[in-house]
Structure 1
Amino acid sequence: MSRKTEPVGTITINYSDGSSRDVAIQPPGAAIRFSLGTAEAHAVIWRMWTGSATTDIYLSVRDGRNGGNSKYSFHASGDWRLQYEYSEAIKRGVPRVIDQWDKPVVDSDGLIFVTRILTPSDDIVVNAKPEKDAAKIGWITPAPNGMLNGLAVLMAPPGRAPLLPADAHLVAAMSLADGSLVFVLHSASELQPYEEDIFARMRREAAKNPPPGAPATYVPRADPEYRCQVNAHEGAEKGPHSIWDLLM
């Protein structure tokens, strides 16, 4: 699930229902990979890493066909952005920055909301071939079909005792150079009709600009490895950030 680095210790996580759990903390400079599903049937594989001497956080998918030509950068300066890699921006003839927003403030639970990855369970299907690096990936059991999975990335500033939601399962914990902690948590909710409608509309819009290797004619759900990641903000124009990982 991570580079070959030893955990720097454990943290006792206190949940809002009064329970607690000890979790290993990955050191500054570590990288983790995680995905919903199994080596045979999964959503996109995410890679999250940090600097060994900075408090910047980075997030991307590994597959160039499914968004690996861009990455999310959550800079300590508060400049948070999604941007293309240099070569991709040059090839497309566009600016590197796709989206940019400000780092949120600490909430009442002592946490900073980074982003949330949303994936319908129905969009996790058998892949064309098993994942060859399965042992290096943290596999997360998705909710049953008809449900919506949420992978929340949260940050706790140094010296704070964060209170994590009781209905979420802790996937990973990472430490930053200043002592801040980063958490990845999995939760699930029933997929609502309005969410299904929005996701279907986004699939149709994404199909208008298919990635390399996509079929010439869009046939919904025909290719198990044809996915899209939608960059979104909830509520206000630059409100809470989310990423929708959808099977095309």
Structure 2
Amino acid sequence: MGKLRVIGIGPGSIENMSLRALKAIEDSDVIVGYNKYIDMIKELVKDKEVYSTGMKAEEDRCKEALSLCKNKNVALISTGDAGIYGMAGLILELRNDEDVEIIPGITASSAAGSIIGAPLMHDNCNISLSDLMTPYEDIKKRVKLAAEGDFIVSLYNPKSKGRPHYLRECIDIIKEFREDTTPVAVVRHALREGQSYKLFTIKDFDTEIVDMMSIVIIGNSKSYYKDGKFITPRGYENKRKNS
């Protein structure tokens, strides 16, 4: 019997992949994944059997991976972390008695945060603005509650041609609970080729520069910029004062 490893390959660059993920891919007979993800690690899969599909075929990929692993070692890959908007959950839902291992990777908010400073140093959350799996009213409710709770908010899938206004509407919700000086960062292609970023305050944030290759990070009430870096203090200064 083979084994299925569900692997988060991180941002997509080999140097930002864990050694465990790298070894699992090397040890696999078959690589399963979205076309663009396969292309990101093409130097690792050139001598492997490959099963790839386009967008919106996640369930087909998972079913094929589970079928193939009955007698082969299979790597099902996705960018970021396998358990954060990846394939881990769906595989476990569909799994019967197949041998499955989940291998984590760097998620987009962590990758983006490392580029712009230390924005995620306190309580934070990830919210996807894609309504393919979640009704938009639920998304807006989560954004509101996260903002009201003073979480740092990382917005995944922030904008597409089919929903050009969601990001602006969600930023307007967050504005109700934030000062105008609150830092907002947009990072594109974090830790891979084509990487870029821009820093704003929530007052002057320009949603027009955002696309599906971006992640948007909005600070909490204590976040600030220092020497061009986005910082959210965790409270060490208060601890020192009180000691």
Q: TM-score, normalised by structure 2?
A: 0.26
Q: TM-score, normalised by structure 1?
A: 0.26
Q: Which structure shows the bigger proportion of residues in helix conformation?
A: 2
Rg larger in structure: 2
Q: Which structure shows the bigger proportion of residues in strand conformation?
A: 1
